[in-house]
Amino acid sequence: MSQITIHGGKPLTGSIELKGAKNLVTKAMVAALLGETPSVLRDVPHISDVEVVSRLLQLHGVNIDHDPITGDMHMDPSNVEQARMVDIDAHAGSSRIPILFCGPLLHRLGEAFIPGLGGCEIGNRPVDFHFDVLRSFGAVIEKLPTGTRLSAPEGLKGAKINLPYPSVGATEQVLLSATTADGLTELSGAAIEPEIIDLIAILQKMGAIISVDTDRVIRIEGVKKLHGYNHRAIPDRNEAASWAAAALATQGDIFVGGANQVDMMTFLNVFRKVGGAFDVLQNGIRFYHPGTDLNPVVIETDVHPGFMTDWQQPLVVAMTQAQGLSIVHETVYENRFGFTEALNAMGAQIQIYRECLGGTPCRFGQRNFYHSAVISGPTPLVGADIRVPDLRGGFSHVVAALAATGTSNVSNIQLISRGYEKFLEKLDALGADFEFEA
């Protein structure tokens, strides 16, 4: 377990550069499995989620060459083969992406084995939608003590699917299963996040026929085969939002190279309402604290085009410095406020509630989930010893430590490298005062 000691109270200033979105590249890598010829994905970040997916692809015979400097990744799936269960099992608990291997492996090999899933502990994170989707296509699913085995004795056939909630992962499951399934698939209740649209663009480059209609309906006409693709991943808007929040909370000024305004409009509106300033430039966005008081805001997280759940944690740190009461109603995950405990230990005043503090329809009201937060500001933050709980919560801990006076020891810091490339190098480039202990 690695740790950093942060001497806070210094604004973060400077510039950083984004690479491709974590929540697109790992799925785009899985899509390469469907092609009969090699694919090239550009702007792939060097993060541990990418490493896990690379290893799983390699175990299935995909040849991978990733240049971490340029971000170019070459994937050759000409010799896809069944991996040994024991080798796959070594990756149990490391990521949630393996569940997306199901459709492509069923198409390529007629069977699949996936390890127990990992990922951030921000709720129960069931996979019932995924398995229902796969069953609709004709997959047979067998749960084993070590993982899940799937087969498709008669191949995968197009289906009519209605998701009970616009799940990002389940929508990707449908896309990756339906493109080479036999016949037409109609998906209602689909997620339409920019990363999903980029995945659809990739599949179209590969030869798929997919249309995105109004009201969250996606139609896929199955094709017999797909070829490789050449694609530059969309920039990571979640990382951009994280650094924007860091600039605001530390009274700093950060240029985020590659940040794309169109994919971040909902975030930018809230950032402006809190009192943050930004300039949209030719090749990125400059985010800064304008030197005036910050304002309290009321936000509800939601699926796209709403305010993303991944944006709330770092921004909550800035809300602790706003003049008055801010409210955050989390409607995507039932347990995403665990990180507030550490902020309170640093001097924040954040109260969490089971009630829905907002009008957005939510699956967690009247249940035992602390999914609303009230943040009273402004409260000075002071250094503390804290432990990173998950990716975005961890980023917010680091931001709080940077904004605080005094010294903080932040442990379990390696979790942040799951999703933020060159995290410590970027902190260094932005003038943070810290020491790293491996």
Structure tokens at 106: 């069923």
Spatial separation of the C-alpha atoms in residues 325 and 319, rounded to whole Å: 9
How far is Cα 408 from Cα 394, in angstroms, rounded to an integer?
Answer: 13
Torsion 360-215-130-238 (CA) sign: negative
Structure tokens at 413: 């810091």
Rounded to the nearest whole angstrom, what is the least distance from the CB of residue 131 to ligand EPU in the complex?
A: 7
Task: Please give the Cα distance from 306 to 312 (Å, whole number).
Answer: 12
Q: Which amino acid is at 399?
A: V
* CB-nearer residue toward ligand EPU: 23 or 320: 23
Integer angstrom CA distances of residue 189 from 127, 211, 218, 221, 381: 16, 14, 9, 18, 42
Minimum CB–partner distance for residue 194 and ligand EPU (Å): 11
Least CB distance to ligand EPU at residue 130 (A)? 5
Select 39 or 309, whichever has its Cβ closest to ligand EPU.
Answer: 309
- Tell me the residue nearest to ligand EPU as measured from the CB: 169
Least Å from the CB of residue 314 to ligand EPU: 11
CB atoms within 10 A of CB 3: 17
- Select which of 102, 120, 356, 362 is catalytic: 120
Closer CB to ligand EPU, residue 288 or residue 370?
A: 370
- Given the rule CB under 6 A, which residues bind ligand EPU? 22-23, 96, 120, 123-130, 165, 167-170, 191, 193, 238, 308-310, 332-333, 391-392, 419
- Least CB distance to ligand EPU at residue 164 (A): 8
What letters, b where the CB count within 10 A reaches 16 and e where it falls short, cover 17-43? bbbbbbbbbbbbbbbbbbbeebbbbbb
Q: Is the peptide bond before 380 cis (omega within 30 degrees of 0)?
A: no
Known active-site residue 356:
no
Q: Please, which residues bridge with residue 185 across strands?
A: 220
Write out the catalytic residue numbers: 120
